[in-house]
Structure 1
């Protein structure tokens, strides 16, 4: 099957700076995700049917419109979700084409489906933005409402063995992921992975609440506040204490 005929389900795309990898990036959000994270701000990307059938060539045509700009801005292309690894062949095809054009590639993933990423996909992946939902199985299941932590950790070590840079992302949610034991466990995981370049502690927000309302879905964390500056500083300090670069 050629890149021209490999088809994915793409929900939307955007151009962003500083939040989806280095530089200014073309970010495509693929549709479909096996997890149902309580803090998810994009419930509109949960199902493949919510996206538009798009071939790798179709997406590359969109990327080409911004190619000069993202190269000058030392950026690249990020494939996000949903969960991008629900569509590994599509990701591989797009990243292969990006590499042929000298465009930096970043994969935004929970790692839960890491076993589905073939070596050929990782060969053309320059950076992985790895969402570590929690540091222990109990909290992981509370956060995602399905699945287990082990596939993410296994995938992270596989990436490290291949020398692929990792930026770990950890969403700090008061009353859900902020427990001392859970934070320490996430920090232990991050410190054990040799190719981790940085850890981003992301404060929970309720900006996706309107999407839940539009879909007639209950937002599980509708009454949960954002973490205050003191909590953010303390949690970031736990990661820094292990010698990690933290944002």
Structure 2
């Protein structure tokens, strides 16, 4: 019992929670937004999650007590708990303990990540993850750096490892007109995803500006202010390219 008490006293920093999420994994999800992110994505809709020192400090016990209130909804819908951010892998012990406790309760776990982390950090945590939602912002290294301000290779290494251990994954790709939409970028991403054996789903996320107001509130310059949202025609073109590689993309 003493060991359990020590484990469950693990603390972390979160921005907020969403109790009935429907877009971050299967079924109805309890979504935890962690604080802190090493990426600086131009279209980020959660820029208020960037600073690892902001948000609120909570214990795993506090979260689990709240999660259990929604257990029946998750069970009925085939849902579970998703940890997103920010970047959850910046707090590996905290997130790992959340997932471990959820699995002990029979709750499905999903990790929403950029994969921008050393595998040494990620491997122990992944043992308690049922599904990974992996965001691949671009397959072209130059475009990836332009979008995120970090290197692409750690994400590709992470994706290959998930395939190696046969960890179920959904790939997410944000389609931004004039930025991530070049045909070679989409085609090469399709080739890469087709080389993985663990991908259960590919989601094309059409670019939108719903997070722009947060940038303004925080005093950040929103570089994509004049970028149009992704049109249905552009999304259809991207889907067609993925289909050429045997990938049925959804949006």
Shorter-chain TM band: over 0.9
SS of 1:3's equivalent?
helix
- Is 1:112 the equivalent of 2:103? no
Residue 148 of structure 1 corresponds to 151
Runs of 4 or more consecutive aligned structure 1 residues displaced over 4 Å after TM superposition = none
Residue 137 of structure 1 corresponds to 141
Q: Structure 2: how far apart are the matches of 1:114 and 1:125?
A: 17
Residue 160 of structure 2 corresponds to 157
Equivalent of residue 52 in structure 1, options 39, 45, 56: 56
How far residue 114 of structure 1 moved from its aligned partner, in angstroms, is: 4.8
Equivalent of residue 4 in structure 1, options 5, 8, 16: 8
SS of 1:108's equivalent?
strand
SS of 2:64's equivalent?
helix
1:119-141 deviation digits (Å, cap 9, x = unpaired)? 33111100000000101110110
Residue 233 of structure 2 corresponds to 230
Using the size of structure 1 for normalisation, the TM-score is: 0.96
SS of 2:180's equivalent?
coil
Residue 188 of structure 2 corresponds to 185
Equivalent of residue 90 in structure 1, options 77, 80, 94: 94
Equivalent of residue 221 in structure 2, options 197, 218, 222: 218
- Comparing 44-53 with 12-21, which one deviates more in the overlay? 12-21
Equivalent of residue 43 in structure 1, options 44, 47, 56: 47
SS of 2:29's equivalent?
strand
How far residue 98 of structure 1 moved from its aligned partner, in angstroms, is: 0.4
Contact in 1 for aligned 2:88/2:95 (Cα 8 Å): yes
How far residue 72 of structure 1 moved from its aligned partner, in angstroms, is: 1.3
Residue 85 of structure 2 corresponds to 81
Q: Structure 2: how far apart are the matches of 1:93 and 1:226?
A: 38
Residue 24 of structure 1 corresponds to 28
Contact in 1 for aligned 2:21/2:29 (Cα 8 Å): yes
Q: Structure 1: how far apart are the matches of 2:113 and 2:85?
A: 8
Which runs of 5 or more residues in structure 2 are unaligned?
none
Using the size of structure 2 for normalisation, the TM-score is: 0.94
Q: Structure 1: how far apart are the matches of 2:94 and 2:247?
A: 33
When residues 112 and 96 of structure 1 are mapped into structure 2, their CA distance, relative to the original with a 3 A threshold, is: same
Contact in 2 for aligned 1:12/1:28 (Cα 8 Å): yes
When residues 129 and 138 of structure 1 are mapped into structure 2, their CA distance, relative to the original with a 3 A threshold, is: same
Number of positions where the alignment pairs a residue of Structure 1 with one of Structure 2: 246
1:134-176 deviation digits (Å, cap 9, x = unpaired)? 011101101002x211111111111111111110000000011
